[in-house]
Chain A
Amino acid sequence: MNAGAPRTMVAVESLSVTLDRVMVLTGVSCAVSEGGWLALIGPNGAGKSTLIRAAAGLVPYQGRVLLGGADAATLRARERARLVAYVPQEPVLPPDMTVAQYVLLGRTPHLGYLSTPGRHDRARAHAALERLDVARFAASRLARLSGGERQRVVLARALASDPTVLLLDEPTSMLDVGHQQQVLELVDGLRGDGRLTVLSTLHDLTAAGQYADELVLLDEGHVVASGPPSAVLTAALIETVYAARVAVTPGPDGRPVVTPVRRSAC
């Protein structure tokens, strides 16, 4: 590699996770370089969310997780929180909290135990609101927001902590196709201008192929394939892992498009 090669921001090395005596991940390794987007794909129960949660420090694991080159196990909770922002599949949104209050919670990693958010914290939270185009909802209650607005507000909270790594667990699962695209474009834009590294799960294979630089295909806790979308999204691999019949064709931009095919279709 040449001297200008981007450094690795997140690396997972022989990661194994056992939950309730069931091995959910077995010796998984993958890495994302600075500014990249790695999407984890795979059938339900493959261990995608568990990998994200392990990277977020939420489940005990064997192996190593490296964040910005440092072993995550050696980082203190607040140091890790300043480095990494995590958005779960179903974020808890206290219904009566206002958008501004909620996004300000994102500043928690930067506050001492007894300190309160100051002017700088409010400014950063507001910047995150503006970046995701939800500043006009600042005074609204979270319960009032639509699905697409919620997802943007949750992303704003994640960005308010000025993270270098964004962990997203199915960021689009509750959204219609238009809002899905909007959120993915947003995340893409965020990493473009902010040196933000993204590690996400995505169940929509075509979307994963369009937005991620690299894909990791998981099945029953093992890595089945990894690499650029064109290498991972092949009809043969998908049919084996998902037990589905699909056609993979190049889209307008050359990236693969995965289409399910009806069995009786001629």
Chain B
Amino acid sequence: MTKRTALGAAAVFLVVAAGVAAFVGAADLNPLATAAALLDKIPFVRLPSSLSPVDRAVLFQIRLPRVAVGALVGGLLALAGAGYQGVFRNPLVDSGMLGASAGAGLGATLAIIYLGGEGPSVVPLAAFIGSLSGVAVAYLTGVAASTRTILGDGVATLLLAGIAVGSFLTAVQTFFLQRSAQVDIQAVYSWLLGSLSAASWQQVTTILPYAAVSSAVILLHGRHLDVLAVGDDEARTLGMRPGLVRGLVVAAAALAAASAVAVSGLIGFVGIVVPHVARRLAGPSYTSVLPLSMLGGAGFLVLADTLARTVLSPAELPIGVVTALVGAPAFVWVLRGTTSVDT
């Protein structure tokens, strides 16, 4: 598939996923009236809709912000994952590695246990800070542990440092968790498994600036990540600075993942499965893998969230469970087709 066809297909997939998500849910909205209400929002289109004020509120204040947050989170996680994979030249790296998920988990856990009285608003901020701190600690650990340039020849050490820091932070989190009250444990677990049930337009506007900056930086480095694929030596003799490229992409991917995690909790598999599918569709060039991952990840998460809130309606499945249930088999399927290539 050419890059253009694949991007078109991914865009259609996202629009279809968003459409499905807008029409399906616990509240039984009249499809025609819903369509009319949605089309009415398009500039210069005027369509009267028979949607009641309550239904209107369900559509515009509950479902649509949830679609928007889902698309943002999915797009950011997949894009961050793809960016990391290019930086480390390793297709198995996920957006949550480098201490990002574990740091967010610890931050959220501490906020829930010790700042629970402050209301839920501190949890996203704590997760955001925790996620970025996790990456920063992993980076500093890598610098201290490696005798080589951490963003150059020693980049594998950065990955190992991330794994070590991740395990450590998770252990700290478990320590606090097992000493805390039952009700907090439940709250922490439901956060850890990920959910978009708190989605609001306010969340969208909060993470949009971070999302815009981080994704712009990552998307602009597709060509550079392709050059990195031939190794640091050759990249340098082609006039590139591998350390600069890695530093920018890692920082942007950390920011993207932290913004996503802040509003959604921990959602696995998106950052690893989606870039793989993108590669299978349009080849290994990051100039196509990055934008494809972003669109595909957005569509995938919107669909996964639609499943999460409808399968056991009116109860909700944690979205992390859905992405892993769909993602794990998909991952095996993708691996079957690519092992010969990646090793």
Interface residues of A (CB under 8 A from B): 53, 56-58, 77-82, 84-86, 88, 91-98, 101-102, 105-106, 108-109, 111, 114, 116-117, 143, 161
Chain B residue with minimal CB distance to A83? B239
- Most chain B Cβ neighbours within 10 Å, of A98, A111, A143: A111
Docked complex Cα distance between A57 and B284 (Å): 29
Answer whether A109 and B284 are a contact pair too, CB < 8 Å, given A58-B233, A88-B234, A114-B220: no
Interface assignment of B154: CB less than 8 Å from any CB of chain A: no
Binds A, one of B29-37, B199-207, B222-230: B222-230
The listed residue (B230, B241, B287) touching A94 by CB distance below 8 A is B230
Contact A88 B239 (CB under 8 A): no
Contact B234 A161 (CB under 8 A): no
Answer whether A109 and B239 are a contact pair too, CB < 8 Å, given A95-B341, A101-B285, A143-B341: yes
Chain B residues within 8 Å of A57, by CB: 236-237
Q: List 28 A-B contacts (CB under 8 A).
A: A53-B233, A56-B233, A57-B237, A77-B240, A77-B241, A81-B237, A81-B239, A85-B237, A86-B233, A88-B231, A91-B230, A94-B284, A95-B341, A96-B283, A97-B226, A97-B283, A101-B226, A101-B283, A101-B285, A102-B230, A105-B230, A108-B223, A108-B238, A108-B239, A109-B238, A114-B220, A117-B223, A143-B341
Chain B residues within 8 Å of A101, by CB: 226, 283, 285
Contact A92 B234 (CB under 8 A): yes
Chain A: minimal CB distance from B177 (Å): 42
Interface assignment of B279: CB less than 8 Å from any CB of chain A: yes
Contact A92 B230 (CB under 8 A): yes
Docked complex Cα distance between A57 and B238 (Å): 11
Chain B residues within 8 Å of A86, by CB: 233-234, 237
Docked complex Cα distance between A175 and B287 (Å): 33
Chain A residues within 8 Å of B287, by CB: 116
Chain B: minimal CB distance from A70 (Å): 15
Closest 4 CB pairs of A and B: A81-B239, A78-B239, A86-B237, A92-B231
Chain B residues within 8 Å of A105, by CB: 226-227, 230, 238
- Within B266-299, the residues touching A (CB, 8 Å) are 279, 283-285, 287
The listed residue (A84, A94, A117) touching B237 by CB distance below 8 A is A84
Chain A residues within 8 Å of B240, by CB: 77, 108
Docked complex Cα distance between A65 and B17 (Å): 59
The listed residue (B230, B237, B341) touching A96 by CB distance below 8 A is B341
Docked complex Cα distance between A151 and B193 (Å): 50
Chain B residue with minimal CB distance to A98? B283
The listed residue (B220, B226, B236, B284) touching A58 by CB distance below 8 A is B236
Chain B residue with minimal CB distance to A78? B239
Contact B230 A56 (CB under 8 A): no
Chain A residue with minimal CB distance to B241? A77
- Most chain A Cβ neighbours within 10 Å, of B227, B239, B284, B287: B239
Docked complex Cα distance between A85 and B279 (Å): 29
Docked complex Cα distance between A81 and B229 (Å): 17
Docked complex Cα distance between A117 and B223 (Å): 9
Chain B residues within 8 Å of A94, by CB: 229-230, 284
Chain B: minimal CB distance from A74 (Å): 15
Chain A residues within 8 Å of B229, by CB: 92, 94, 97
Docked complex Cα distance between A106 and B240 (Å): 11
Chain B residues within 8 Å of A161, by CB: 238
- Most chain B Cβ neighbours within 10 Å, of A85, A92, A95, A101: A92
Chain A residues within 8 Å of B283, by CB: 96-98, 101
Chain B residue with minimal CB distance to A109? B239
Docked complex Cα distance between A92 and B231 (Å): 6
Chain B residues within 8 Å of A111, by CB: 223
Docked complex Cα distance between A164 and B276 (Å): 39
- Beyond the given pairs A97-B226, A97-B283, 7 more chain A to chain B contacts, judged by CB atoms under 8 angstroms and listed by A's residue number, are A77-B240, A85-B237, A91-B230, A92-B234, A106-B238, A108-B238, A116-B287
Chain B residues within 8 Å of A106, by CB: 238
Chain A: minimal CB distance from B137 (Å): 30
